């Protein structure tokens, strides 16, 4: 029975593959979108501040797509390292040894995604919507996630002292 339970952990490979496919699809989509945006700008030959602002917004949205792809990649890599093979050749900063490591890395990327999302709202602000509410909500989520990371780090340091 113990051997069977040990082998069942490999079912996580389905989630790893699906998440890698999703990350790859987003990266390809972002790449195509980058090409389309650049092609459209240069084919029109119109170079005004309005076009520059639209271009900036498009690139912020594309960056958001790449960041979400990064989140999916980190999830896939983390699940693979945790359940299948912990000796994946990755840089030290991307090594995931525990579920807490995976959560920490995800929270870091999620904070950046929230920031980029708010930047997109800020650059398209029309003066009519209340940007303070949106920014405040983003700030609260970022603060809560940062507090969570800080508490976990403090707890880890306290455990190391014991």
Q: What is the pTM of this model?
A: 0.76
Task: State how far the Cα of 30 lies from the Cα of 19, in Å rounded to an integer.
Answer: 16
Q: Provide CB contacts within 8 A for 10, sequence distance 6+.
A: 83, 84
Examine the pLDDT at 158 and tell me if it is beyond 70: no
pLDDT level of residue 130 (50, 70, 90 thresholds)? confident
Sketch the domain layout of the chain as residue ranges. 2-161
Examine the pLDDT at 50 and tell me if it is beyond 90: no
* pLDDT (average), residues 38-63: 86
As a whole-number percent, the residues of the chain with pLDDT over 70 amount to 93
pLDDT digits (tens, 9 = 90+) for 67-109: 999 999 999 999 999 989 888 888 888 888 888 888 888 888 8
Mean pLDDT over the full length of the chain: 86
CB atoms inside a 10 Å sphere around CB 23: 21
Task: State how far the Cα of 84 lies from the Cα of 90, in Å rounded to an integer.
Answer: 15
pLDDT level of residue 162 (50, 70, 90 thresholds)? low
């Amino acid at each position: 029975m113990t051997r069977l339970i040990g082998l069942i952990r490999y079912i996580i490979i389905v989630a790893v593959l699906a998440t890698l496919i999703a990350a790859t699809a987003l990266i390809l989509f972002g790449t195509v979108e980058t090409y389309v945006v650049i092609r459209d700008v240069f084919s029109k030959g119109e170079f005004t501040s309005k076009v520059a602002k639209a271009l900036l917004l498009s690139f912020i949205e594309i960056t958001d797509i790449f960041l979400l792809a990064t989140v999916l990649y980190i999830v896939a890599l983390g699940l693979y390292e945790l359940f299948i093979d912990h000796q994946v050749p990755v840089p030290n900063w991307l090594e995931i040894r525990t579920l807490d490591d995976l959560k920490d890395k995800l929270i870091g990327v999620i904070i950046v995604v929230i920031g980029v999302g708010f930047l997109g709202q800020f650059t398209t602000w029309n003066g009519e919507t209340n940007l303070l509410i949106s920014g405040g909500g983003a700030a609260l989520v970022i603060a809560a996630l940062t507090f969570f990371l800080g508490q976990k780090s403090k707890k880890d340091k306290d455990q190391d002292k014991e």
